[in-house]
Structure 1
């Protein structure tokens, strides 16, 4: 609670960093903020054209030429949210070393812009994706609200992992490289590009230990089958999120005093 109150007191700093991140991303470009829409729009169009028209990929049990595109975009957009938070968080203290040394403020404030920018990018992608589902007749309607628990858990898990990694990265700089490799493995261990129904039973049982699987399965159920997911499957990713949160809290509090000296 004290940390949350401290973040609220320094909300001006968080807002300033967030605005700087968004502005500097396209500073000097001719189209400026339009790239915020053009880049995700290009991704949606490419995935739709390649997989639904050129490759004519199909999902078993779903009679729609756009089903695989919806399946893929559901996973990729959510994965990008998860990935961006972790990637931006892991080097947070190192990148803001000068600010941390010069200004006294709660270090947790730095995570607010990370989540805000990632959430903003996710929102743009989601809006374009929902427009696409409307055009192809696969919009889930009010069921879209059922995606909130999975997305909240996905964000919290990424934040917890990001806080833990950023605290350790200050002292062990190789962690960033190791995490990049592990994230690639995690991506392919999650049914995003492929449906889980095509996997052999042994591999299917193995990937059930991946805490992201229930989250992505819930989202895919909503957008492809247009029905409520089984929320009882979310207890496992919720438990993993709590564990990462406790580890992150312990590492942050234990290493807080040494971080400044190491930077």
Structure 2
């Protein structure tokens, strides 16, 4: 494990330049540039809010704001966007970079680190835009929003662990790349992002214990929408799962890296 961190430090220039070049190249011919990273999720929020706000706004107790549902929705999508983007990009990362892995000798761990760095950059820009929109809607920043930083670590660690495992599996079994987007879509609806948790039927609430994103998204709602600290007891489980998954993903990646090059 120490060897991985040593390799990252030695190739830190490569990592930073790759993140910067990826960001620049993605919007090189776009008039709005990086604003599209903000416009797309906010447009999604606007569509959901327009369609569902009249149905669900009355079921959001404790929020004295006529835009309560839009605030709730944006907070949940902020968490989910980072989670799904890291997994989605790690899923095809090694296949997309197969030629590079075969032709150039470099620490393979830099590839997922570049992906995570790029996703975190997108996330930071979206979070900044979200705070601006919140202020426009009358929801001003509070000290509780500082909890977003440890919550971000939980989300990123869980996504990296799952992404590495699935990315490695996808190299050997390409069906994984077809199934996971469907699983993520089902997982999205199984998490209270576009609906409040209090409308979940009692018979299904027990199943939420198996969803590590449920307490994390609820924590995002608490700190961003309700200006309350998260329930720490509910976050112990997701934190443990995230750390274990990240370490297991790194272990699988390290063991499978030589074989992946042969298969690719």
Do these two structures clear the TM 0.5 threshold for a shared fold by scoring above it?
A: yes
- Aligned-residue Cα RMSD (Å) equals 2.1
Whether 1:86 and 2:84 are equivalent positions in the alignment is: no
Q: For residues 98-117 of structure 1, what are the structure 2 equivalents within 5 Å?
A: 98-117=99-118
Counterpart of 1:257 in structure 2 is 258
Counterpart of 2:58 in structure 1 is 58
Tell me, in whole angstroms, the C-alpha distance in 2 between the residues paired with 1:168 and 1:151: 25
Tell me, in whole angstroms, the C-alpha distance in 1 between the residues paired with 2:248 and 2:172: 16
- Decide whether the 8 Å contact of 1:58 with 1:67 is kept in 2: no
Per mean C-alpha deviation after superposition, the further-off stretch among 65-74 and 31-40 is: 31-40
Measured at CA, do residues 198 and 39 of structure 1 come closer, stay the same or move farther in structure 2, by a change above 3 Å?
A: closer
Tell me, in whole angstroms, the C-alpha distance in 1 between the residues paired with 2:221 and 2:32: 34
Structure 1 length-normalised TM: 0.91
Deviations 1:102-158 (A, max 9, x none): 111111101122112211111121111111222222224111112222211001111
Structure 2 length-normalised TM: 0.91
Shift of 1:15: 2.2
Measured at CA, do residues 237 and 111 of structure 1 come closer, stay the same or move farther in structure 2, by a change above 3 Å?
A: same
Per mean C-alpha deviation after superposition, the further-off stretch among 248-257 and 222-231 is: 248-257
Query: SS of 2:192's equivalent?
Result: coil
Counterpart of 1:159 in structure 2 is 160
Give the gaps of 5 or more residues in structure 2: none
Tell me, in whole angstroms, the C-alpha distance in 1 between the residues paired with 2:165 and 2:56: 42
Counterpart of 1:193 in structure 2 is 194
Counterpart of 1:70 in structure 2 is 71
Measured at CA, do residues 50 and 139 of structure 1 come closer, stay the same or move farther in structure 2, by a change above 3 Å?
A: farther
Shift of 1:256: 2.1
Counterpart of 1:215 in structure 2 is 216
Q: How many residues align?
A: 262
Whether 1:20 and 2:18 are equivalent positions in the alignment is: no
- Decide whether the 8 Å contact of 2:19 with 2:118 is kept in 1: yes
Tell me, in whole angstroms, the C-alpha distance in 1 between the residues paired with 2:136 and 2:26: 31
- Decide whether the 8 Å contact of 1:44 with 1:129 is kept in 2: no
Counterpart of 2:128 in structure 1 is 127
Shift of 1:91: 1.0
Measured at CA, do residues 165 and 135 of structure 1 come closer, stay the same or move farther in structure 2, by a change above 3 Å?
A: same
Measured at CA, do residues 186 and 29 of structure 1 come closer, stay the same or move farther in structure 2, by a change above 3 Å?
A: same
